[in-house]
Chains A and B, each alone.
Chain A
Amino acid sequence: MIEVNGLTKRYGGAIAVDDLTFTVRPGEVTGFLGPNGAGKTTTLRMLLGLVEPTAGTATVRGRPFRDHPRGLRHVGALLDAGDVHGGRTARAHLAVLARSNGIPRARVDEILDEVGLAAAARRRVAGFSLGMRQRLGIATALLGDPPVLLFDEPLNGLDPEGVLWVRGLFRRLAAEGRTVFVSSHLMTEMENTADQLVVIGRGALIAAESLSAFAARSTRLSVTVRTPDAATLAPLLTAEGASVTADGDRLAVTGLPAERIGELALRHRVLLHELTTLGASLEEAFMELTADSVQYLAGDPR
């Protein structure tokens, strides 16, 4: 359980994090979303006590993280895959951290194996690809078998197999009852992973709710329907207030959720071949909600 209360960080006149309040619960994967520069990393650093808040509090399981003399058994964190010394081998890097926290040496090889770096354990980190560094960072986070895990943009640089593995890992960690808090600036990374979302823009909270509740915020909810009987279904949907664009047997429906479309089809005995809520709807909800708070807009005349 992570509790953030009125968290604020000011750098001179610039405000990086603005009065954030949210809770991250155990047993779920919570996505932490925001455009570049929204204050995600600063928030995570304040959670870990690396950065002192200007105001407000951040606690992990009821205590400020810095109250723990050793951290790895309480919170595992991957802040930046680059936060390693390139001159050390993967095994030496983890061995140093394990030793500092009194974690048995055997755990190092176990965790290297788990993240798929067993073969590279004796190689110097300088020669690692970004994906391999992410795996090493994840190994660092998992080293102390902690009940709370924080990941800052963990999918950067991972290959598709790695992305699938990480998603499965997050789900498994959450299913084990852990608190999993994952930041990203891409909605698409979150929609297959997160149960809950905390969305911020320009340091301020935009939304803290479930993924489905967030998706429903989009005014342009879009559903793809494929049916051999498009001619029958389309008017039914229009009658319900949806706007429908037909393309052969494929209908693009906006303004009506998939559940309602399915009900209508069943009631009128229309056969459906496909009923898909477009991923873009989440992305759109995200874009719409953060549109006012994007800090670095391409082509922004300022």
Chain B
Amino acid sequence: MTTATAAPVAHDVPRARFTDLIAAEWLKTWSLRSTPWLYALSALAVVAFNAGTAYDHYKYWYQYDKGSQEFFVTHRLALVDAFTDNSALVLVLALAAIGAVSVTGEYGTGLVRTTFTAVPARRSVMAAKVLVLAAVTTVFGVFVAAVSFASTRAILSGRGASVPLGDPGVLQVLAASALLAPVAALAGLALGTVVRHTGASVVACVVVLLLLPMVLSDRRHLTAVLRHALPFSAWDRLTGGALPQPPPELFPWSEAGAWTVYALWALVAAAVAVCAVHRRDQ
């Protein structure tokens, strides 16, 4: 071993493929024991809140007077039970935290330096992370929305108060609730990427995604506009709008506007997560 061989040439380096990064992020997601647990517990909580509300209506059905029972059926309030406010709150909180931790977990442990040394194309890493997170949480959202709808429908059909899948508005409630999951997760990912600290980014998620829509009044034009720009309000608008008699709004806004809020939050969050890592020291 005295004669040093010629310095090893960077042997036929295969072309960098983005699909490899997606596969790596997929592996990264599922190689943590906490991932399936977090998703399972979140799903359980969301479905339990919905099914629980439906069961409450089922159980105490005969304590309502005739008029209330009729109102429940004609106004298709089964759609409200299909995805309740409480469930939406839990969904946003859980998914935003999952999104934030998917990146702060790397910062907190120092893994991010290993990751960015292995893949100096940092924006590609984050883009792969965004895609994997969006895909997994969309599947999650569709799953919890479908299970919530199926379970609440089965429960309320015992009182003849259920709404079939084909009814107008049902798909909108399901889609708005299912897509709230990836929107919240991507917002969490973006906040986590900027804040880089688990605790602080979860607090930021709670403030931006849950607290703001509660404190911003919809009775003044300015605050109403700000409020309408938030994903939780958009969910509220889309699910409320699916009812035969939507709740009245002082400053009405269109469903298309609410869908646009969803899309913009997802796109801006993805862009922030991808771009924030490029220039900053790691």
Q: Are B106 and A52 in contact (CB under 8 A)?
A: no
Q: Which of under 10, 10 to 19, 20 to 34, or 35 or more describes the interface residues of A?
A: 35 or more
With A27-B7, A82-B110, A172-B1 already in contact, the answer to whether A69 and B31 are too (CB < 8 A) is no
Residues of B with C-beta under 8 A to A178 = 7-8
Q: Are A102 and B17 in contact (CB under 8 A)?
A: yes
Residues of B with C-beta under 8 A to A100 = 20-21, 24, 115, 118-119, 125
- Chain B's closest residue to A65 (CB) is B120
Instruction: Report, nearest first, the 7 A-B pairs whose CB atoms are least far apart.
Output: A92-B31, A100-B24, A27-B4, A83-B110, A69-B16, A99-B24, A69-B121
**Smallest distance from the beta carbon of A209 to chain B beta carbons, Å?**
19
The yes or no answer to A159 lying at the interface (CB within 8 A) is no
Residues of A with C-beta under 8 A to B14 = 102
Complex Cα–Cα for A277 and B153 (A)? 87
Residues of A with C-beta under 8 A to B9 = 147
The yes or no answer to B59 lying at the interface (CB within 8 A) is no
With A70-B118, A140-B114 already in contact, the answer to whether A52 and B279 are too (CB < 8 A) is yes
Q: Give the number of A-B contacts (CB < 8 Å).
A: 136
Q: Are B24 and A84 in contact (CB under 8 A)?
A: no
Residues of B with C-beta under 8 A to A86 = 109
Q: Are A51 and B114 in contact (CB under 8 A)?
A: no
**Smallest distance from the beta carbon of B31 to chain A beta carbons, Å?**
4
**Smallest distance from the beta carbon of B44 to chain A beta carbons, Å?**
21
Q: Are A51 and B281 in contact (CB under 8 A)?
A: yes
The yes or no answer to B256 lying at the interface (CB within 8 A) is no
Q: What does the 1/0 interface line of B48-75 toward A look like (CB < 8 Å)?
A: 0000000000000000000000000000
The yes or no answer to B245 lying at the interface (CB within 8 A) is no
Q: Are A70 and B120 in contact (CB under 8 A)?
A: yes
Q: Are B119 and A49 in contact (CB under 8 A)?
A: no
Complex Cα–Cα for A92 and B27 (A)? 8
Residues of A with C-beta under 8 A to B32 = 85, 87-88
Q: Are B20 and A51 in contact (CB under 8 A)?
A: no
With A100-B20, A172-B1 already in contact, the answer to whether A70 and B113 are too (CB < 8 A) is no
Contact of B20 among A74, A79, A99, A174 (CB under 8 A): A99
**Smallest distance from the beta carbon of A105 to chain B beta carbons, Å?**
10
**Max count, chain B CB within 10 A of own CB: residue among A27, A96, A175:** A96
Chain A contact residues, CB within 8 Å of chain B: 1, 26-27, 45, 48-52, 61, 65-75, 77, 79-80, 82-89, 92-93, 95-97, 99-102, 124, 140, 145-147, 172, 174-179
Q: Are B281 and A52 in contact (CB under 8 A)?
A: yes
Q: Are A101 and B20 in contact (CB under 8 A)?
A: yes
**Smallest distance from the beta carbon of A293 to chain B beta carbons, Å?**
24
Contact of A177 among B6, B16, B118 (CB under 8 A): B6
Which residues of B, 109-130, contact A by the 8 Å Cβ criterion? 109-121, 124-125
Residues of B with C-beta under 8 A to A70 = 13, 16, 118-121
Residues of A with C-beta under 8 A to B24 = 96-97, 99-100
Contact of B114 among A69, A83, A124 (CB under 8 A): A83
Q: Are A101 and B118 in contact (CB under 8 A)?
A: yes
**A to B CB contacts below 8 Å, 13 in the list:** A26-B4, A26-B7, A66-B120, A69-B121, A71-B117, A80-B113, A83-B113, A87-B33, A95-B31, A102-B16, A146-B10, A147-B7, A172-B1
Residues of B with C-beta under 8 A to A89 = 31
Q: Are A72 and B118 in contact (CB under 8 A)?
A: yes
Residues of A with C-beta under 8 A to B27 = 92, 95-96, 99
Residues of B with C-beta under 8 A to A66 = 120
Given contacts A70-B118, A95-B27, A100-B119, 10 further A-B contacts (CB under 8 A): A27-B7, A45-B282, A49-B116, A83-B114, A86-B109, A96-B31, A99-B23, A100-B115, A175-B1, A178-B8
Residues of A with C-beta under 8 A to B279 = 52
Contact of B109 among A71, A83, A177 (CB under 8 A): A83
Contact of A71 among B31, B105, B119 (CB under 8 A): B119
Q: Are A84 and B114 in contact (CB under 8 A)?
A: yes
Residues of A with C-beta under 8 A to B21 = 100
- Chain B's closest residue to A51 (CB) is B281
Complex Cα–Cα for A216 and B253 (A)? 81
- Chain A's closest residue to B3 (CB) is A175
Q: Are B31 and A88 in contact (CB under 8 A)?
A: yes
Complex Cα–Cα for A80 and B5 (A)? 30
Residues of B with C-beta under 8 A to A26 = 4, 7
The yes or no answer to B28 lying at the interface (CB within 8 A) is yes
Q: Are B124 and A73 in contact (CB under 8 A)?
A: no
**Max count, chain A CB within 10 A of own CB: residue among B31, B113, B120, B121:** B120
Q: Are B7 and A177 in contact (CB under 8 A)?
A: yes
Complex Cα–Cα for A50 and B119 (A)? 11
Which residues of B, 88-143, contact A by the 8 Å Cβ criterion? 105-106, 109-121, 124-125
Residues of A with C-beta under 8 A to B33 = 87, 124
Q: Are B10 and A61 in contact (CB under 8 A)?
A: yes
Residues of B with C-beta under 8 A to A85 = 32, 105-106, 109, 111
Residues of A with C-beta under 8 A to B4 = 26-27, 174-177
